[in-house]
Structure 1
Amino acid sequence: MDVRRLEVLCELRLRGSVTAVAAAVHVTPSAVSQQLKTLEREVGVPLTERSGRGLVLTPAGEALAGAADGVSVALARADQVWRRFVESPQGVVELALFPTAGRMFLPGLLAALREVPGLSLEARDVDVTDGDFTDLVADHDVVLGYSVGPATGWDDRAVAVQHLLDEPLDVALPEGHPLAAHRRVTAVQVATSPWIAPPRDAPFERVLQEIERVADHPLTVVQRFNDTRITESLVAAGEGLALLPRHTSGGEGTGVVLRPLERIAPTRRISALLRVEHAERPSVRTVLQALGRIAAEIERAG
């Protein structure tokens, strides 16, 4: 049975005439009569009968209209819940993000969202190459991804992209290394040292290739790791140099110092990716706004 025809039956029970029902539901009286006839064919018994110049409900019509009242109440409740959902930031937002983005954004994001009643975040860490971040968009509300150089596939019209920040990629040196005394280093200075590199298909590999090109010298890669924490520990142990993101690497107590790379000045572009239709949800917009504020704070802190 069509819910709209049940609503017409309930209106007839309440208002007592086809004309009054038509005015209430904003259709013509003939349209009301047609819907009632269609409903009778669906249930197989007469639901209305003539009384003078008007229509009244039969006992079957009364029974069905009484039962349909519960449907109307349920629909009204569902409509109210849905309106609250689309008009206010409520529900669960599913976020996928790469590990160092988790270190940068998650503590502040969770703290910010605790101030929003009815909104919660389910975060999952992922570690993929930049071209694969769009593959996660179908299964998550928001995906934090990064690219070094052009991001393939991010211009898809079905994917909305909100730029958050450009994070410098610095040369990581062990404390006490001769180059640590320099404020900046050059490709020529670092090209002759051993390197702890990312996997060959990782975005950072493009920067290492540029170092080789500028220095006109091949790099000697002694180890490859995707996890920047492992890479940082090996740099601190003196096993080689590496390229690491500035905001989540180095610092006091790590045994590692970071130095900008002259001329090349590499960065990774961090963005929020999501399906275009998800961008209209207040809950998702609230998360994006919080991410934007945190990114601005990170950039101000340097």
Structure 2
Amino acid sequence: MLLPTIKVGLMDPYQLSVLRELGDHGSVAATARALGVSPSAVSQSLAALQRKFKAPLTQKRGRSVELTDAGQALAVAAIAVSEAITRAEATVDEFVGGIDRTVRVSAFHSAAMSFFPGLAALEHTEGFPVVECVDEDVDRVSFPALTASYDIVIAHRMSHTPPWPRDRLAVLSLLREPMDVAMHSSHDLAMKKTLKPMDLVGTTWISTHAGFSPADMLDAVAAAAGYPMRVVHRINDFSTAAAMVSEGGHLALLPRHTVRIPASQDVVLRPLEDVQTVRHVDMLVRPERVVHRAVSVVIDALRGIAQTHVQNPSLRSAHAKESTR
């Protein structure tokens, strides 16, 4: 944790961290919530930091507050300051084992189902830190801001969407996971081994809310087909979507590795051609937190769990392969 009493030249690392949070959250109120302080405390820290520079660091845009170019440059420098201090703390922590801290991990719903049980199984393993798991099912653009509250944020995006902000975050890959078209085994398209966007024209869909990976991918499918896809239900929970697919004639996009569907649900999968269908499942971590031994231990554990999912396909994936007609 950054200590307000530590000085680096004329700058206070705590004030720098406040500026950094403001850049991530876009308002004094949201920054205050992220830091667990009052809005007036945030304003005072920003005012104190501003007095040390001639160039303005912030500017108002409507109801939000954004960083100027000078403010953004200083916020990037603040990351390096925070990382240096944390690395020094971690060096000392090595002498006492280095895992005496709680590691907070957030994940979107399907990732939570895939990764959190594995972390829970390691709870009483010697040399494994205490882990707090939290389900945070947010849209794609909201994941980076979660790193203010969590050591590790498991996030997802499609290949064709903007990359994560690597200038202020460490981005560590967990999975590159294809999204397949799910349907009942009696659906006309189940006779095909693979599908193309034009095959999906005129079908009806169970998709997620806008900003989530399946909705992003369905937009790309529609663009490739040259026709809109008709969405009749908006369901973020993949298990619910699969259960609905098993009872009707709708289609859904489901991840290949991280969703388990009971074999009793007569759902088959078909891969898509001619469109990017890969979902990136990544760990977003602030650079200064990666150096903590406790955090690195949990990162390694998550990578091991991810590898297990790839090497041992779910029942749903196996059933889909066997159901080709």
Corresponding residue for residue 231 of structure 1: 241
Deviant stretches of 4+, over 6 Å: none
1:103 equivalent to 2:113? Answer yes
Distance 2:170 2:196 in 1: 37
Q: 1:260 aligns with which of 252, 255, 271?
A: 271
Deviation at 1:152, TM superposition (A): 4.4
Corresponding residue for residue 92 of structure 1: 102
DSSP-derived class of the 1:257 partner: strand
Greater helix percent: which structure? 1
* Letter in structure 2 aligned against 1:268: R
Distance 1:85 1:129 in 2: 40
Q: Residues 86 and 226 of structure 1: is their aligned pair in 2 closer, same or farther, counting only changes over 3 Å?
A: farther
Query: Is the 1:198–1:204 contact (alpha carbons within 8 Å) kept by the matching residues of 2?
Result: yes
Deviation at 1:219, TM superposition (A): 1.6
1:294 equivalent to 2:315? Answer no
Mapping of residues 147-226 of structure 1, within 5 Å: 147-149=157-159, 152=162, 154-226=164-236
Distance 1:291 1:85 in 2: 25
- Alignment size in residue pairs: 222
Q: 2:142 aligns with which of 116, 123, 132?
A: 132
Q: Residues 225 and 138 of structure 1: is their aligned pair in 2 closer, same or farther, counting only changes over 3 Å?
A: same
Distance 1:126 1:222 in 2: 25
Distance 1:162 1:301 in 2: 22
Deviation at 1:120, TM superposition (A): 1.3
Coordinate RMSD, CA, aligned:
2.3
DSSP-derived class of the 2:106 partner: strand
Query: Is the 1:90–1:282 contact (alpha carbons within 8 Å) kept by the matching residues of 2?
Result: no
Query: Is the 2:182–2:270 contact (alpha carbons within 8 Å) kept by the matching residues of 1?
Result: yes
Query: Is the 2:187–2:249 contact (alpha carbons within 8 Å) kept by the matching residues of 1?
Result: no
1:141 equivalent to 2:176? Answer no
Gaps of 5+ in 1: 1-78
- TM-score, structure 2 length as denominator? 0.63
Corresponding residue for residue 283 of structure 1: 294
Corresponding residue for residue 255 of structure 2: 245
Deviation at 1:87, TM superposition (A): 3.9
Distance 2:152 2:117 in 1: 17
Deviation per residue, 1:123-156 (Å, 9 max, x gap): 0001111211111100111110011135647224
Distance 1:273 1:261 in 2: 28
Query: Is the 1:133–1:143 contact (alpha carbons within 8 Å) kept by the matching residues of 2?
Result: yes
Deviation per residue, 1:251-273 (Å, 9 max, x gap): 51223211111222401101111
DSSP-derived class of the 2:275 partner: coil
Deviation at 1:191, TM superposition (A): 2.1
Higher mean alpha-carbon deviation, 91-100 vs 148-157, is at 148-157
- TM-score, structure 1 length as denominator? 0.67
Q: Residues 187 and 103 of structure 1: is their aligned pair in 2 closer, same or farther, counting only changes over 3 Å?
A: same
Select the structure of larger CA radius of gyration: 1
